[in-house]
Amino acid sequence: MKMAGKQTTLLFIALIALILLCYFVFIHGPESDKLVVKNTELQTVQAEKKRINDRIAAGEGLNAEIESYKKLITDIEKSLLPDIETQVIAQILQDKFVDHGIPFITKTNTSIPTEERVLLPDGTQMSDEALISVIFNLQVCGTDGFHQSVLDDVEATEPSQEQEDEQLNYILIGYDEFISALKDIEDDLPDSVKIRSITLEDSGQGFMYYSVSVVAYTMYLPNRISEPSTSGAYITWNGIPVNQIPREGLIGIPYDRVPETLRDDKIYLPFAFYPTPAPADTEEGA
């Protein structure tokens, strides 16, 4: 009986060992291999997810950088004139001298617009963008202090003793007023309106001529980011509406309005049929 019980116990133990062996051989082994494969796949997926997240973060940083550049470009675009309206700019420049007390404008003209383009790196094509500039030339004159000007109020102003001693009876206008006007021009639109040159010329008659060349710049930008401004200083005409400008009247100074001291009877008259005395002399002879 004792031998039978021992044999039963050993058989049971052997059966348990066989079951465990089959489990490890046929079940646990393949499942472990699958688990290793799954863990490897999981690590691969996690690494790919990390790369994607890094790309997303880098893309967000790139977008922020792109927006920063767009703002910078927009600021540059808005700092430039959207277009050059010559009549508007000429009006403003002339008003600067009037506002600063030197309103005697003797010359004003503008140059033909010039265009500059950049050669692309390939060396064969020019850029679509272009820098366009126009030069405005103005000349004003000062006063000599001895002759009355439109700025003098003779009835309300009594000359001082010093002025009487120097025979300087009227307002003396010149350099200071000219420089004040130039500073005002410089401060308006420093990126678009720049002073190119100034010239001072002595008339030889006790007063000075003051000349200035001002350059206005704009950019032709076919692919600009911001919308161009259509109103504001140097853009909008503030003078008389074009449709209200008088269309009748005289151009130039008629002969009978020219002071006799300035008449030159010997001047060449391209329009005259044949040389004749001045109308005034003819009337006196009659």
Q: Are 73 and 209 in contact (CB under 8 A)?
A: no
Q: Are 112 and 101 in contact (CB under 8 A)?
A: no
Q: Which residues pair with 63 in a beta bridge?
A: none
Identify which has the larger pLDDT, 234 or 36. 234
Amino acid 156: pLDDT: 45
- Alpha-carbon distance of 74 to 126, in angstroms, equals 23
Amino acid 16: pLDDT: 74
Amino acid 27: pLDDT: 58
Q: Are 139 and 103 in contact (CB under 8 A)?
A: no
HEC profile of 41-93: HHHHHHHHHHHHHHHHHHHHHHHHHHHHHHHHHHHHHHHCECCCCHHHHHHHH
The per-residue pLDDT for range 186-216, each reduced to its tens digit, is 998 888 899 999 999 998 888 899 999 999 9
Q: Where are the domains of the chain?
A: 1-79, 81-248
Tell me which range, 2-11, 24-33, 150-159, 171-180, is most confidently predicted by mean pLDDT. 171-180
For the chain, give the longest Cα–Cα distance: 179
- Rounded to whole angstroms, what are the CA distances from 161 to 147, 158, 168, 260, 261? 17, 9, 10, 34, 32
- Alpha-carbon distance of 271 to 47, in angstroms, equals 94
Class of domain 81-248: alpha beta
Element (H, E) at 116: strand 114-119
Q: Which of 13-22, 154-163, 262-271 has the lowest mean pLDDT?
A: 154-163
- Could you tell me the two tokens for 31? 């499942």
The per-residue pLDDT for range 135-188, each reduced to its tens digit, is 999 999 998 888 778 787 755 455 555 555 555 578 888 999 999 999 999 998
- Alpha-carbon distance of 29 to 47, in angstroms, equals 27
111 — pLDDT class (breaks 50, 70, 90): very high
Amino acid 191: pLDDT: 85
Amino acid 129: pLDDT: 84
Identify which has the larger pLDDT, 277 or 95. 95
Identify which has the larger pLDDT, 66 or 105. 105
- Could you tell me the two tokens for 148? 């009355």
Read off the pTM. Answer: 0.63
Element (H, E) at 31: helix 29-79
